[in-house]
Each structure stands twice: as structure tokens, then as C-alpha cells.
Amino acid sequence: MFFSKSTDALIAKQQNETIRIETWGNNALRIRVTQNSEFTNDNKALCPAVSPAEISEDNNGAVIKNGKIRCIVSKTGWIEFYNRDSLILKEYYRDFRDANEHSPSMNFHAREFKPVSGSDYNIITRFEAQKGEKIFGMGQYQQPNLDLKGCVLELAQRNSQISIPFYISNKGYGFLWNNAGIGEVMFGLNYTQWNSKLSEELDYWITADDTPKNILENYTEVTGRAPEFPENVLGLWQCKLRYRTQDEVLEVAREYKRRGIPLDVIVIDFFHWIRQGDWSFDPKYWPAPQKMLDELKEMGVRCMVSIWPTVDRKSVNFREMLDKGLFIRTERGSIQCFDYQGDTVIYDALNPEAREFIWNKAKENYYKYGIDMFWLDEAEPEYCAYDYEHYRHYTGPALKVGNSYPKAHAQAFYEGMKSQGQTDIVNLLRCAWVGSQKYATLVWSGDIKSNFTALRDQLSAGLNIGIAGIPWWVSDTGGFYGNVNDEHFNELLIRRFQFSTFCPVLRMHGDRGPHDIPNLSDLDYGGGFSETGRPNELWSYGEEVFEILKKYLNIRFGMKDYIKSVMNEASRNGSPVIRTMFYEFPNNEICWNIDDQYMFGEKYLVAPVLYQGVAERGVYLPDGNWKNIHNGQIYTGPQKIIAKAPIDIIPVFERC
């Protein structure tokens, strides 16, 4: 192994492999390994953040240090990391060159580069497992596991699955797999293995620090932080599948006003257009958008519209976009990518010209009326078949770059809105990647079932995506796929509404069956073509449910200043809005094991009811005094209590 150094980097070479380790942010290092002649110039998810390094070399190898993190590269080329003097991560190998290792004759290497074509490789890298390690983050996966140790995760975007490959370990470090390609990670009990199916180089980033809050601050320093959250959308968002006409939208908004219930946002869902890719209102059902927007504005209601990235072959924009090469390409056969209610292709958000095109259409057909919020649905993008080998983007094959699509899609609208001078930006997306937060991305957890199993999954999903750097997160209140005739639906709706009250955004949405409402048109296109769901407003489920929902909406209104302060903290240092218990109490070992309660900012401990028919539940209260917000009773922690939770109560305790 031959070593050299520069101001900010340690370079190690052996045979055809080159390792480059450089300082990158506070207490952090970026590590790249290539078997090509040179490294790429692509920072991928990282913003430039290079600082001077401390580098030394002796007979055993070389050392690079940046603040609290220290990396050792041995003479045989293997890498290990320390938080000060504590080992935090070490490559996994069983190699005859290291006689002190067990089973050296296995000749099992930490890094594998399997040639695919040209300069691309299937890259595998492995790290030693540590006894007692816990792993959190990685985006959003539909499972109840908060601690991901022992899990196998697909590194790919799907409807309701979000790959953001950053995690925090209880061993005092954070790790980013700086790769937008399709792959897999296995957090095994024997070793951790990362696999990228198509990459030019191995690329990851690691930081070491004293607390999860410090680690997340270091991470968001180099990937970006959310902007200031608009104060006028901290209340209720009203949505359903789907408002079909401007009269339906106005009737709902007027009814909220008549009942004296403030409404911050009303959302117009899909097929308000004629065909996918028109990105405009169907004039038959939306004849006077400006008049509608003027009345909504007078009522203090902002309007959001759904925009899909899909383009029907019969869309008014298809031919121009095809000729300009603005679509995701298929490697074989038809260019069709998506087959829901049309023969469609998908615009390529990784193409700057395509991003400009879709924003200009949105500006021309929506923004001019005063619509300044966009629901960027299908943002993974959703394919009719998740055959990632079949698709190619402007910047390369989907296997290599595809996971960054939702971030680029968000970028198109954020930068377009910023160019118009708008500052109160928030757009709703069903997917995200590393750094999406800096483009004012509010992520929702996708098209999930209306049942308690999905509710349990959403708690872990929301907490882990916050650890991965996305502070603005929401799930469909009541779930997406649900039938109002289900005997347990109202119970579920109440429990989900209570949970949503103590989330970044409170949004009513869902596809409410049974679907027995006739379509407005017998045609196979246009704004009257698609079905709609049952009513989904606060008063749609009977007076008893209505009173409970109003109670929690009023609780949220009373917390507006506090919620704003928590949102501001997310912008300032990257902290999640909903937080794992260990995030606020990192020195409490019990808090590292709790996965069914959370902190809403630093002040409120929330213990949601996650199971059907439950009327009480255990709650762990850490050190300090805790006041039950419902009856004022004060408890002194640490202790575990049994909290009453009848249908109108979610156990919440204020830190005092």
C-alpha cells in the first residue's frame, strides 16, 4: 500500500485500487474507492464542505483525523474508524495478510468490484457487526421495526417505500451510503453488507459525535436543511379522493367556514385534468379557476393541486416532449412506463430541460391563478413494473441514478417557485432521497391500508425518516385504502387523527369506499372520468366522531406557536419534528429500546394508541416532571405508568 496526502485528503493505492479519504464537514470524512483510472467529479448527495485534515503515517499504515473522527488505513489496505479512541466501524475481512484475524485462509475481502460494463461495477462492501449495536434511519419502510439491526432493506423507491441510505448508530456515529443506485443493505448480526448493482466507485460518508442531535446536525450540514415552514399551513389540510369540480371544492371550504373551523389548505387531487401530462384544469368541471381561487383566498384557504409526472400519449404535451427527449427511456420495446388509466410515459426529472418544461406548464396553468402549493404524487416514480434494469435517465441507467429521481422532481418546483419570489414554499411528495428536505419537501407515507397494522408501521416510518434528515412528514389520516362501512373504521380514524395532531402536518385524506358514487362522465378521459371516494370531511363520520376530531384540532390550534418553534429548529439544525425517545434522552439506555412512543419536539411525550380496542397503555416517563395534558396530573420520572386511553384520549405528557 502506497500513501500520499494533500491538504484535505489521504490517498492510498494498491495494485488497481485507489482509496481517497477526505475531510467533509464537521467531525466527518468522505471515503471513496475506485478501480478506474480516476474518481468521478460527482458529489452526489453531498454539498461541498472540505476542511483541513490531520494526516500521519507510520510503519502500520496511515491515519487521517477530522475533529472527533479518526480513520486508520492499514498497510494491507483495510479501514477502521474511531470516535476519539473508541472503535465505531471496521471493515469486515478474513485475509491471510492479517495473521491475527480468525480464519485468515477464507480470503474474504471487505470490498468487491465485479465488472458490469465499461467503467461500471457491481460493488459490495462489508463492515464488522458490533455486539449491542442499534441502527436507526434509512428512510421509510413499511414495517414496525424502529431498530433496523437484523433487517434487510432494498435500496429502491416504491409507492410507500423511501430509500434514504443514512443511519445513526448507538455506537456514536452516522453513516451515509452516498449512492443513488439500486441495491440492498443487510444489517446482519455477523456483518453489515452494502450492495450497489451499478456504480463507478464506492462512496460513503461517516461522522462521529457525542449525541444523535450532534450527528444529525453534522449530516444535514452537508446534505441540506429544510427551509422555514410556512406558518399559515400549520393547521388543518383537507383532502379526499377526489374533489371532481370547483363547486365541490368551494362547497367544502364554505362549510368549514360556516362551522367556524379554520381550514389552512384544501387539496385538488388527480384527474382534474383531461389527460395525464396536460397539467391543466379540465374546463368543463373547472370553468373559472381564478374565481375559485379568489374565494378561497378570501376565506384564508390555500389551494394545492396534484401533479403527476406521467404523460399520456394523447396528452397535448406528449409529442413536443418526445421530440425533445424529455422522458425516461426504456431499454427495450415500448416506451410505456405506467399503465394506470392510460398509456403513459414518465417525464425525466433528472433532465434539467424536462424540469424546466414541467415547471413552466405548472406556472402557466396553475400558478398564475394563485395556486402556490403542489402535490407531486407518483414521485418515486411509480412504474407499472419495478424492473429497474429497463429504465434509463438523462444522467444514466436507473440502476445507477434512479433513487435520486424524487429529489430532482422536488427541485424542479422549488426552484421554479423561488424564481417567482415565493418564500412560503411547501410541496407534498410521496418519495424523497438524501437532501430532499432542502427543496421544501413534505413527505407523506404513501398509499397505505386503513387498518391498525399500517398505523403501527407509520410510527416507525415517521421516526426513521426523521432520523434520515426529512423533518416534514405526514401520513394519510385514516389511511388511504378504507371502507367506511367497516365496523372499526371510525375507531381507526380517531386514533390516526390523534396521532396526526402531534405530527408535523395534520392532513385528512383517503380513498373512502364503497365506491358507489356514479362518475360524472361515461367517457374514458377527462375530469369526469375517474371515480371518487365517499366524503372525508371532519363531519362526515357522525356527530360523536366530529366532536372528538374537533377537540384535537383545537389542541393543535393551541400549540401553533410551539409547533412553529419546532419547525424552526428543524431548519436551524436538522432535528426531526417527531423524535425517537433516545434523540432527547441519549444517556438513558431504556429510551434506546422504546419503539412505541415518541417526542413531539423537545416538550411533549406522545404515546399513541396503535392497536384496536385498546383503552389503556404503558408509558415510560424519563427523568423530570411530566404533566398529563388532559387532566393536569404531574408525574416524576423515571417511571413507567399505565395511562388511561378511552376513545377520546391519546396519552400525551408535557415536560415541565
- Residue 218 placed within a domain: no
- DSSP-derived 3-state class of residue 508: strand
- The pLDDT assigned to 104 comes to 66
- Residue 594 placed within a domain: yes
> Are residues 169 and 285 both part of a single domain?
no
> Are residues 92 and 139 both part of a single domain?
yes
Question: What CATH number is given to the structural domain containing 583?
Answer: 2.60.40.1180
Q: Which of 572, 591, 606 is the last residue of a domain?
A: 572
> Are residues 29 and 166 both part of a single domain?
yes
> Are residues 315 and 377 both part of a single domain?
yes
CB atoms within 10 A of CB 626: 23
Full strand arrangement of the beta sheet holding 86-90: 54-58, 61-66, 69-74, 79-83, 86-90
pLDDT tens string 377-436: 999 999 999 999 999 999 999 999 999 999 999 999 999 999 999 999 999 999 999 999
> Are residues 398 and 249 both part of a single domain?
yes
Contacts of 248 (CB under 8 A, 6+ apart): none
Residues spanned by the domain of 487 = 231-572
- Residue 535 placed within a domain: yes
Provide the Cα torsion 134, 501, 571, 435; round to 10°: 60
Do 450 and 508 form a contact (C-beta atoms < 8 A)?
Answer: no
> Are residues 631 and 557 both part of a single domain?
no
- The pLDDT assigned to 103 comes to 66
Query: What Cα–Cα distance (Å) separates residue 236 from each residue in 27, 248, 308, 427, 578?
Result: 40, 18, 23, 15, 18
pLDDT tens string 55-90: 999 989 999 999 999 999 999 999 999 999 999 999
Is 377 a catalytic site residue? yes
**Residue with grid cell 476519539, as numbered in its chain:** 84
**Active-site option among 221, 278, 377, 457:** 377
> Are residues 499 and 366 both part of a single domain?
yes
- The pLDDT assigned to 95 comes to 73
> Are residues 159 and 75 both part of a single domain?
yes
Written as nine digits, the cell of 339 is 399503465
- The pLDDT assigned to 47 comes to 95
CB atoms within 10 A of CB 170: 18
Low-confidence ranges of the chain (pLDDT < 50): 99
- Residue 304 placed within a domain: yes
The β-bridge relationship of strands 265-268 and 302-307 is parallel
CB atoms within 10 A of CB 364: 11
> Are residues 257 and 322 both part of a single domain?
yes
Question: What CATH number is given to the structural domain containing 144?
Answer: 2.60.40.1760
**Active-site option among 278, 282, 380, 457:** 380
Q: Which of 175, 208, 241 is the last residue of a domain?
A: 208
Provide the 8-state DSSP code for 48: P
> Are residues 348 and 466 both part of a single domain?
yes
- The pLDDT assigned to 97 comes to 61
- The pLDDT assigned to 109 comes to 87
Q: Which of 572, 597, 632 is the last residue of a domain?
A: 572
Is 447 a catalytic site residue? yes
- Residue 216 placed within a domain: no
- Residue 298 placed within a domain: yes
- Residue 406 placed within a domain: yes
Question: What CATH number is given to the structural domain containing 461?
Answer: 3.20.20.80
Do 478 and 536 form a contact (C-beta atoms < 8 A)?
Answer: yes
> Are residues 273 and 361 both part of a single domain?
yes
> Are residues 195 and 248 both part of a single domain?
no
- Residue 279 placed within a domain: yes
The reported pTM is 0.97
Is 561 a catalytic site residue? no
Contacts of 1 (CB under 8 A, 6+ apart): 12, 13, 14, 61, 73, 74, 75, 76, 77
3-state secondary structure 167-207: EEECCCEEEEECCCCCEEEEECCCEEEEEEEEECCEEEEEE
Q: Total structural domains in the chain?
A: 3
Burial class (CB in 10 A: 0-12, 13-18, 19+), 42: middle
Helices first, then strands: H and E counts in the chain:
12, 39
